[in-house]
Amino acid sequence: MQEGLHLEELGEIPFDEKEILRYAMLPSFAPAPEELPLQECLKAVKGAAQCRAVWRRYPLKADGEGLDLGFARTDSKDLKRHLEGCGEILLFACTAGAETDRRIARAKLQSAAKGLLMHAIGAQQVEGGCDRLCEGLAEQFPDRQLTDRYSPGYGDLPLEMQRDVMKALDCGRTVGITLSESLLMTPSKSVTAIIGMKEKNI
Amino acid sequence: MTFMELLKKGPFFLDGGFGTLVQKAGLKPGEAPESWNLTHPDEVTKIHRAYFEAGSNMVACNTFGVHPERYSLKECEEMIRAAVICAEQARAEAYASQERFIALDVGPCGKLLKPLGPLDFEDAVKGFTEVVRIGASYGVDCIFLETMNDGAETRAALLAAKENCDLPVLVSNAYGADGKLMTGGSPESVVAMLEGLGADAVGVNCSLGPDALAPIVERYLAVASVPVLMKPNAGLPQEKDGKTYYNVGPEEFSAQIAALVPKGLRIMGGCCGTTPDYIAALKQAVGGQVPPALVKKERTVIASRGCALELGKDPMIIGERINPTGKKRLRKALEEGDMAYVLNEAISQEERGAEVLDVNVGTPGVDEPALLAQAVQELQAVTDLPLQLDTADAAAMERALRVYNGKAMINSVNGKQEVMDAVFPLVKKYGGVLVALTLDEEGIPATAEGRLAIAERILKEAGKYGIESKDILFDTLTMTVSADGTAAQVTLDALRMIREKTGCGTVLGVSNVSFGLPEREVLGSAFLTMALERGLSAAIMNPLNDRMMGAMISFRTLTGRDENCGAYIRFAGELPAMQAVSPAAPAAAGAKETGAKGLRRAVVKGLCREAGSLAREALTAGQDGLELVKNEIIPALDEVGQGFEAKKLFLPQLMMSAEAAEAAFREIKEKTAGQAEGQPSKGRVVIATVKGDIHDIGKNIVRLLLENYGFEVTDLGKDVAPETVLEAVERLHAPVCGLSALMTTTVPAMAETVALLHERAPWCRVMVGGAVLTEEYAKEIHADGYGRDAMAAVRLAEQFVQQ
pLDDT digits (tens, 9 = 90+) for A134-182: 999 999 999 999 999 999 999 999 999 999 999 999 898 889 898 888 8
In sign, the C-alpha dihedral spanning B304, B309, B311, B314 is negative
- Model pLDDT, residue B354: 97
Q: Does A200 touch chain B (CB under 8 A)?
A: no
If phi > 0 it is left, if psi is from -120 to 50 it is alpha, else beta; for residue A170 that is: left
Of A6, A33, A180, the CB nearest to B653: A33
Question: Across-strand partners of B714?
Answer: B686
DSSP assignment of chain A, as one string? Answer: --TT-EEEEEEPPPP-HHHHHHHTT--TTSPPPTT--HHHHHHHHTTT--EEEEEEEEE-EEETTEEE-SS-EE--HHHHHHTTT-SEEEEEEEE--HHHHHHHHHHHHH-HHHHHHHHHHHHHHHHHHHHHHHHHHHHH-TTEEEEEEE-TTSTTS-TTHHHHHHHHTTHHHHT--EE-TT--EESSSEEEEEEEEEEPP-
CA–CA min distance B189, chain A (Å) = 16
The band of B577, judged by pLDDT with boundaries at 50, 70 and 90, is: low
Q: Please give, rounded to a whole number of angstroms, the shortest distance from the CA of B701 to a CA of chain A.
A: 6
Distance CA B273, CA B246 (A): 6
Q: Within a 10 A sphere around the Cβ of B192, how many other Cβ atoms?
A: 28
Question: How far apart are the CA of B387 and the nearest CA of chain A, in angstroms?
Answer: 17
- Kindly report the pTM of this predicted structure: 0.86
What average pLDDT score do residues B150-163 get?
A: 97
Are the C-beta atoms of residues B145 and B170 closer than 8 Å to each other? yes
CATH number given to B300-572: 3.20.20.20
The reported pLDDT for the residue numbered B237 is 78
If contacts are CB pairs under 8 Å, which of residues 132-171 in chain A contact chain B?
Answer: 153, 159
Amino acid at B572: A
Q: Do A27 and B650 touch (CB under 8 A)?
A: yes
Q: B527 versus B351: which is more confidently predicted? A: B527
- Contact call for A33 and B182, based on CB within 8 A: no
- Encode pLDDT of A58-110 as tens digits: 999 988 889 999 999 999 999 999 999 999 999 999 999 988 998 998 898 88
What are B317's strand-pairing partners? B539
DSSP B630: I
Task: Identify from B116, B181, B752 which residue to disrupt to test chain A contact, counting A C-beta atoms within 10 A and taking the largest count.
Answer: B116
Subunit contact A112:B704, Cβ cutoff 8 A: yes
- Judged by a CB distance cut-off of 8 A, whether residue A39 touches chain B is no
Chain B nearest C-alpha distance from A198 (Å): 18
The set of residues, in sequence order, having a beta carbon less than 8 Å from that of A34 and lying 6+ positions away, is B605, B606, B607
Cβ–Cβ < 8 Å for B112, B136: no
Who's near B754: CB < 8 A, 6+ residues apart?
Answer: B739, B766, B768, B781, B782, B783
Among A2, A109, A187, whose Cβ lies nearest the Cβ of B344? A109
Q: Which amino acid is at B673?
A: A
Query: Model confidence at A31, in pLDDT bands (50, 70, 90)?
Result: confident
Q: Which of B149, B170, B286, B273 is nearest to B228 (CA)?
A: B170
By the CB < 8 Å criterion, does A8 face chain B?
no
Encode pLDDT of B478-501 as tens digits: 999 999 999 999 999 999 999 999
Q: Which residues contact B779 (CB under 8 A, 6 or more apart)?
A: B786
Within 10 angstroms of residue B259's Cβ, the number of other Cβ atoms is 16
The residue-averaged pLDDT of B602-608 equals 91
- How distant is the Cα of B206 from the closest Cα of chain A, in angstroms? 9
For chain B, give the mean pLDDT: 92
List CB contacts (< 8 A) between B69 and chain A: none
Q: What is the DSSP letter of B738?
A: E
* Region B143-154 average pLDDT: 95
Torsion of CA A167, A172, A177, A178, to 10 degrees: 70
Which of A33, A172, A182 is closest, CB to CB, to B745?
A182
Q: Which amino acid is at B35?
A: S
For residue B761, is pLDDT > 60?
yes
Average pLDDT score over residue span B537-564: 95
Judge if B3-286 and B300-572 fold alike in CATH terms: yes
Mean pLDDT of B419-440: 97
B659–A113: do the CB atoms touch at under 8 Å?
yes
Largest CA distance in chain B: 96
Query: Under an 8 A CB cutoff, do B29 and A3 touch?
Result: yes
Using the Cβ of A120 and the Cβ atoms of chain B, whether some distance falls under 8 Å is answered with no
Are A112 and B272 a contacting pair at CB < 8 A? no
A–B interface: beta-carbon pairs under 8 A? 150
* CB-CB under 8 Å, A112 with B183: no
Instruction: Report residue B425 CA to chain centroid gap.
Output: 23
**Count of beta carbons in the 10 Å neighbourhood of residue B235:** 22
Rounded CA-CA distance A73/B568 in Å is 63
CATH architecture of the domain with range B683-802: 3-Layer(aba) Sandwich (3.40)
Q: Given an 8 Å threshold on Cβ–Cβ distance, is B651 in contact with A172?
A: no
Record: contact A176-B182, CB cut-off 8 A: yes
- pLDDT digit string, tens, across residues B293-306: 999 999 999 999 99
Residue of chain A whose Cα is closest to the Cα of B113: A178
**Which of B129-133, B151-155, B502-506, B644-648 has the weakest average pLDDT?**
B644-648
- Domain boundary assignment for chain B: 3-286, 300-572, 595-672, 683-802
* Phi and psi, residue B249, nearest 5°: -80, 170
Cβ distance A115 to B697 less than 8 Å, yes or no, reads yes
Smallest Cβ–Cβ distance between B607 and the set A34, A102, A112 belongs to A34
| Closest CA in chain B for residue A162 | B745
Q: Closest Cα of chain B to A85: distance in Å?
A: 22
Is pLDDT larger for residue B172 or for residue B592?
B172
What is the structure's pLDDT at B666?
Answer: 85
Name the minimum distance, in Å, from the CA of B169 to any CA of chain A.
22
CB atoms within 10 A of CB B310: 16
Interface of A with B in 53-92 (CB under 8 A): none
Chain B residues with beta carbon closer than 8 angstroms to that of A21: 652
User: What's the burial of B326, exposed, middle or buried (CB within 10 Å: 0-12/13-18/19+)?
Assistant: exposed
- Give pLDDT, residue B678: 52
Interchain contact, A27 vs B178, CB within 8 Å? no
pLDDT greater than 90 at residue A19: yes
**Burial of A16: CB neighbours in 10 Å, binned 0-12, 13-18, 19+:** middle
pLDDT tops 70 at residue A18: yes
Q: Is A24 within 8 Å of chain B by CB?
A: yes
If pLDDT is split at 50, 70 and 90, which confidence band does B574 have?
Answer: confident
Burial B331-353 (b: 16+ CB within 10 A, else e): bebbeeeebebbbbbbbebbebb
Mean pLDDT of B784-798: 92
- Candidates B69, B182, B666: best to mutate against A (most CBs of A within 10 A) is B182
Q: Which residues of A touch B744 (CB under 8 A)?
A: 153, 159
Residues of B in contact with A71 (CB under 8 A): none
Contacts of A114 (CB under 8 A, 6+ apart): A37, A40, A41, A107, A108
User: How does strand A51-59 pair with strand A88-95?
Assistant: antiparallel
Instruction: Report which secondary-structure segment, H or E, holds B13.
Output: strand B12-13
- Residue B185: closest C-alpha in chain A: A99
The pLDDT of residue B742 is: 85
Residue B729 neighbours by CB under 8 Å, 6+ apart:
B686, B737, B757, B761, B764
Distances (CA, A) of B269 to B26, B214, B253, B278, B399: 24, 13, 10, 8, 37
Determine whether the interchain pair B111/A178 forms a contact, defined as Cβ–Cβ distance below 8 Å: yes
For B169-209, the pLDDT digits (tens) are 999 999 988 899 988 899 999 999 999 999 999 999 998 99
**B184, B340, B607 ranked by CB distance to A99: nearest:** B184
Chain B within 8 Å of A176 (Cβ-Cβ)? Answer: yes
pLDDT of residue A174: 86
Please say whether the beta carbons of B54 and B17 come within 8 A: no
Q: Is the pLDDT of residue B585 over 70?
A: no
Contact of A187 with chain B, judged by CB distance below 8 Å, is answered with yes
Q: Is A42 on the interface with B (CB under 8 A)?
A: no
Residue A129 forms contact with B (CB below 8 Å): no
Does domain A6-199 bear CATH number 3.40.50.10380? no
| Residue B676: pLDDT over 50 | no
Q: Residue B21 — very low, low, confident or very high, per pLDDT cuts 50/70/90?
A: very high
Length of chain B, in residues: 803
Bridge partners of A42, per DSSP, are none
CA distance B743 to chain A (A): 8
DSSP string, A75-119: --HHHHHHTTT-SEEEEEEEE--HHHHHHHHHHHHH-HHHHHHHH
* CA B4 centroid distance within chain: 32
Say which range, B123-127, B468-472, B585-589, has the weakest mean pLDDT: B585-589
pLDDT band at B582; cut points 50, 70, 90 = very low
Q: Which of B175, B357, B697 to mutate to test the interface with A (most CBs of A within 10 A)?
A: B697
Which of A25, A110, A183 is the closest to B745 by Cβ?
A183
CATH class of B3-286: alpha beta
Looking at the complex, report in whole angstroms how far the Cα of residue B662 sits from the nearest Cα belonging to chain A.
Answer: 11
Q: What is the pLDDT of residue B590?
A: 43
* Greater model confidence, B598 or B196: B196
pLDDT of B673: 61
% of residues, chain B, pLDDT over 90: 75
Which among B505, B510, B511, B490 is positioned nearest to B439, based on CA atoms?
B490
CATH code for the domain defined by B595-672: 1.10.1240.10
What does the alpha-carbon distance between residue B228 and residue B255 come to, in Å, rounded to a whole number? 18
B584 pLDDT more than 50: no
What gap in Å lies between CA A156 and CA A135, rounded to an integer?
Answer: 27
| A-chain residues near B344 (CB < 8 A) | 109-110
Contacts of residue B676, Cβ cutoff 8 Å, sequence gap at least 6: none
Q: Helix (H, G, I), strand (E, B), or coil: what is residue B562?
A: coil
Least CB–CB distance from B177: residue in A9, A24, A175:
A9
